[in-house]
Amino acid sequence: MKVWQQDRALFMQNPLFGNQEMDVRDKVAMKKALYMKEGMHIVTTANKAEKGIDKHVEDIRDRVRRLQEDSDEANVQLQEINQRMAQVKDEFQIEDDSQEEKDLALLKKNYDITNHGSTQLLTDEEKKQLAEMGEMTEYQKLSMELYAQADFWKTKISDNQDLMAGMGRAVRNIQTDRLRSHALIDAQKAKDEIMEAASKEAIGILKDDAMDKMEEKAEEIEEAAENQKEKEEEKEERIEAAKEDRAEAEAAVEETREHITEMTENMLEGEKLVQEVDEDIKKILAEQKLLVEDLKGLTINAEA
């Protein structure tokens, strides 16, 4: 988990994933790949550890098998020695309750005490008997040689059994610890959690991208609306201007019409004035003509 958290921190700081220009599908794919890598790393590490434990357990079991084979061979040797000891006893015709056999049993007990520190110590009577025993007989010598050989194989079998018992306990402890640790289960759970986090983050990326696109679209719509509004305002302004121009034109036409009317009236008045002037002139001329005639008459009269 710690490794995943460290790599996740590095992942979040990776400039590639902060690149706004990167396609959202690439972002999701790259994040998913990183999370998958972390998840597989956890599972692989746990699996590797489990395989290491399995190998260790298998090595122990192999050694147990070898020890068992060694013990089986030792047991075969031990059985042969025991048979040889029985044969020697028969060959020397030794009875179970004979003094020689009793002395042999005391020799074997002393051997065990000397070589293995047996807790079954010699009594004072046995010590005295051992001191007064003297030299061993041929039967006792041969039997003790065989007893020493048997002791070697018995010791080997005992040591092997102790080792196998210890190894068996080790395997059981390993299996118990494995059941308690749930390493693979925990690793798989961690992997699932990582992939779940990857899915959530991918959804977050897609959601953020969708929100960004929605915001961009909203801005575009708003901008288009503003442009449309501006166009409508411009249109209204043009309409108003056209109305004003039309009003001005109509006013100009009306003014022109009035001017033309006035001019027409003036012209009519002018013509009338001209006629009046002409009539006045004619009248004056007529009057002058009469005056001339009168003057002529006066002149003629005067001459006469």
Q: What is the pLDDT of residues 111-144, one digit of tens each?
A: 999 998 866 789 999 999 999 999 999 999 999 9
pLDDT of residue 188: 72
What is the residue-averaged pLDDT of the chain? 78
Host H or E run for residue 225: helix 183-303
How many residues belong to the chain? 304
Q: Per-residue pLDDT for 273 more than 70?
A: no
- 217 has a pLDDT exceeding 70: yes
Share of the chain above pLDDT 90, in %: 37
Which residue bears the tokens 């020397």?
Answer: 92
Q: What are phi and psi of 109, to 5 degrees?
A: -65, -40
pLDDT digits (tens, 9 = 90+) for 18-72: 455 567 778 778 877 887 788 788 878 878 888 888 999 999 999 999 999 999 9
Q: Are 187 and 45 in contact (CB under 8 A)?
A: yes
What confidence tier does 10 reach under pLDDT thresholds 50, 70, 90? very low
> Which of the pair, 281 or 71, is modelled with greater confidence?
71
Q: How far is C-alpha 40 from the chain's CA centre?
A: 11
Helices 2-13 and 24-91: angle between axes, nearest 10 degrees: 160
Sign of CA pseudo-dihedral 12, 13, 19, 23: negative
Q: Greater confidence, 9 or 97?
A: 97
CB atoms within 10 A of CB 27: 21
Q: Residue 197: how many CB atoms within 10 A of its CB?
A: 16
Contact 71, 160 (CB under 8 A): yes
pLDDT in tens, 171-215: 999 989 888 877 667 767 776 777 777 777 767 776 777 677 767
Rounded distance between C-alpha atoms, residue 215 and residue 23, angstroms: 17
Which amino acid, residue 29? A
Torsion angle of C-alpha atoms 219, 221, 227, 228, degrees rounded to 10: -160
Instruction: Give the C-alpha distances (Å, rounded to integers) separating 82 from 77, 78, 146, 205.
Output: 9, 6, 8, 83
What is the average per-residue pLDDT within 131-158? Answer: 96
Q: Is the pLDDT of residue 259 over 70?
A: no
N-to-C CA span, the chain? 164
Task: Give the CA distances from residue 263 to residues 166, 253, 269, 276, in Å, rounded to whole numbers and listed in that order.
Answer: 140, 15, 9, 19
Reported confidence tier of residue 161, pLDDT bands at 50, 70, 90: very high
Residue 284 reports pLDDT greater than 50: yes
Lowest mean pLDDT among 118-127, 243-252, 266-275, 280-289: 266-275
